[in-house]
Structure 1
C-alpha cells in the first residue's frame, strides 16, 4: 500500500472504527481489527513486514483463514465494518467481482489499490522478458467510483506495441505505479470481455500510444509479427 494512503486512512478512521483487511497476508495493515485471507495468521508477512515489532490490532482470533473467492458469503454481517482495505490483491484473484461485492456488503467505506496499467504493462517489473507481475491475472482500470477488470492476455508480453519498456518503468513514481479507489457506501465493478481481437489490441495499445508511441511501429509490433508469421508459412 502507498505510504500516503496508509497515513490518510489512519487520519480518517476513528479509534473506535472497525477495520477489515481483505487479502492482507503478505503485508497486513496493522490498524485492521480483522483480516481475511487464504493463508494463516502464523505465516503472515511476506514483504518487508516484521511481525515481531509491528503493533497489530488484529490477532489470531480475528484472522479468518478462507478462500475469499469461494462464492460463499464472508462470515461478517452487512455493514459490520466502518472501513475495509483491499490493497494489491484483486489483480491476483480468480474472481475479483465476488470480492468487490462482498466488500460493499460488509463495509461502509474502503480503499482499493491495484497496479496501474502503466506498471502492469511494463517490462522489468518482475522479469525482463514479460510485462508486469508474472502471477497477476487482471489488468485494472480505476475511475471515480468504479473499477474495471480485463483478463491479462499472454500475447502482450511478446509484442512491442502491447507493452511499455523497462526504461519507461524506471521513470514512474510510486503513485504512478498504482491505481487507487476510495469509496463510500458502494462502487461500480465490472469485467470487460473482448470478443474481437482488434478491440483487445486497441485496448492494450492505449498506454503505449500515450507514452511510447514509437513502439507501435517498431519491428516487434503486431504488424512486424504478422509479416514474420506470413514469411514462416511460405
Structure 2
C-alpha cells in the first residue's frame, strides 16, 4: 500500500514562507548585534546611567558656569510713572532765556505813581513854612483861651485867584476898584502861600490883638480876616494899609 505524500506548496505559499523565514533571520541577527553592543558599552563605561554627551558647539569654557539667558520682557507702551518726592517750589526767576540763550529781563509792572496830594484851601498845609509854623502856635494859644481859629482860605491856585478877580470886577464895576479886595494872581500873597483868611469874628479879634506875639499881623483895614507873617515874633506889627493896591502892568 503506497503512502500518500503531502501536497507540495504552490508558488505563492512558498514566497510567504520564505518571507517569514527572512524576517526571523533578520531579527535574530539584529538581536545578536544589540546584545553585542550592550556588552561593549558596559565594558567601556558608557552605560545609560552616565551623563549623555551633548554637542560642545557654543558651550562655555571648562570651569565657568553656563550662561543663563533670561527672557527680557518687552516694555509696554504705557508705563506707570514712578511717584517722586514733591520738592519745594522754587522762586520764579525774574529773567527768562530766549531760544538763542540770551537772558532777557521779564518785564515788570511799574508802580503807579500816586497823584500829588493837593492841599485843601481850608488848611495850613499849603502855606509857607514861616507862616505855617507861626500860625500853628497862634492857633494853639487861642484854643487855650477858648477861641477856635478856623482857616477859610489859605493857599489858592492862580486859576481860582483869577476867577475871584473876575467876579470882583463885575461886582465893583472896574479893575481898580476890584483890586482893592482881590489882587491879580501874580501879586497875590494867597497864591504864594504867604497869606491866610480866618474866621469867625472872635478869631479875627483874638489874632488881631495877640498875633504880634507869634509874628502874625493883620495887613489891611478893609479885610479884618486877612493875616500875614509881617514881623518878628514878639515885635509890634507894622501899620495897616487901607486896602490892597495892584501894581501897574
Alignment TM-score, normalising by the size of structure 2: 0.21
Q: Larger Rg: 1 or 2? A: 2
Greater fraction strand: 1
Work out which structure has the larger RCO, using CA pairs closer than 8 Å and 6 or more positions apart in sequence.
1
Alignment TM-score, normalising by the size of structure 1: 0.22
